[in-house]
Amino acid sequence: MLKKGFTLIELLVVIAIIALLLAILLPALSSAKIQAQAVVCMTNLGQLAKGYQAYAMENDEKIVNANIPVYSLANGDLLPMPRPPYWADCPQTEDNRYMGNAENLDSYPTWDYKKNGIRKGAMFPYTNDVDVYHCPGDLSRKLTPSATNPFPEINYSFRSYCSPDPLNGWLGQRKPPSGTDIRVLKMTQIVNPSDKFCYLESAENRGWIAGGWNMEWWFSSGTAYGDPVSVWHRDRSGFGFVDGHAVMHKWVDDAIIEASNAGNVNWLPYDASSDDYKLLQSGYVPGRCPALE
C-alpha cells in the first residue's frame, strides 16, 4: 500500500499559512524588541542620573563637568595630569595616552580606547559598567563597513549619551539674549531639578561625542538651533533628569526627527514655537534665566 503524500496545492497552502503567520508575528517581535531596548535605555539613563546626584553629594554639591575634552595632541602622547572631573573622557590607553587623533589606520581610536576614556571619567565609580553608557537601540556598534563609512568603529561613538553644556561645561559663555550666563556649578543652583535633564541621547557623529550638548536661540527671528538628539526608539528619545528619574519623550516636531536622521555635528534648525523645542529649551537651562521668564 502506497503512502499518501502532500499534493502541490496542499504544500502551497501550508507555505502560505506560514508566510501569513510570519507577516503577523514579525512586526510584533520587532515592536517588542524596540520596547525592550527603550527599557534598557531608560535604566541606563536612570543609573547615570542617580550617579550624577551621588557625585554631587560626595563633592560638596559640585556637579561633574559636562564636557568631553578634545585634544590636538599627537596620537599616543601622555594626557596632562591631573585631569579635571569630566564625566567621561577622551579615548586613551590604560596608561593615559591620548588615542583620539590618529595619523594611520592602524592606530585609530578603537572602542577599547573609547571605553578606557569612559572608565577614566569622574562618573564611572558610580556606574562601574561601560555598557551603562551605551543604548542598545544605538546601531553604531553594529554598523558594517561600507563605501561611505569604511571604518564604523572609528567614526562612531560607543557612548550613546551626552550631557548639556550649562552643567559645569565649557560653554558657559553661550548666553541667551539677556546676556545671562546660564552655566551652573553646584546642585543648589539648579532650579526645578525634576525638569532639568543631565543626560540625553546624542546624534552627533564625531568619533566619541566630543564636547557637550548645546543649544542657541533667537526669539526675534523665531529660529532656533541645537545639537541633534538621537531618535533610536521610533519617535522617542531618552532623557535622564537631575532628580534621578528617566523618561522616554515622544517627539511631534518633524524638524527634531529630521535633525536626528541627518546625524550632523553642526547645529540644525528647529521650530522655536514647537512644544518639543520648548521642552528642550527649558530642560537645557538649569538655573534662572530672565529671557525665559
Query: Is residue 22 assigned to a domain?
Result: no
Query: pLDDT for 16-72, tens place per residue?
Result: 777 777 666 666 556 677 788 899 999 999 999 999 999 999 999 999 999 888 888
Residue 7 is assigned to a structural domain of this protein: no
Identify the pLDDT of residue 220: 40
205 neighbors 155 (Cβ within 8 angstroms): yes
Q: Give a yes or no: residue 52 inside a domain.
A: yes
pTM: 0.82
Question: What would the pLDDT profile of 74-87 be if each residue is shown by its tens digit?
Answer: 888 999 989 889 99
> Residue 73 falls within a domain, yes or no?
yes
The answer to whether position 25 is within a domain reads: no
Range of the structural domain that residue 226 is part of: 35-292
Query: Is residue 14 a part of any domain in this protein?
Result: no
Q: Is residue 101 part of a domain?
A: yes
| Mean per-residue pLDDT pooled into runs of 10, the chain (293 residues) | 61 73 65 83 96 96 91 87 92 91 64 93 95 86 57 72 87 56 88 95 79 66 69 91 95 81 59 81 80 58
SS (HEC) of the chain:
CCCCCCCHHHHHHHHHHHHHHHHHHHHHHHHHHHHHHHHHHHHHHHHHHHHHHHHHHCCCCECCECCCCCCCCCCCCECCCCCCCECCCCCECCCCEECCCCCCHHHCCCHHHHHHHHHCCCCHHHCCCHHHHCCCCCHHHHCCCCCCCCCHHHHCCCCCEECECCECCCCCCCCCCCCCCCCECEHHHCCCHHHCEEEEEECCCCCCCCCCECEEEECCCCEEEECCECCCECCEEEEEECCCCEEEEECCCHHHHHHHHHCCCCCEEEECCCHHHHHHHHHHCCCCCHHHC
* Assigned domain for 9 exists: no
Is the distance from CB of 236 to CB of 279 less than 8 angstroms? no
Q: Domain tally for the chain? A: 1
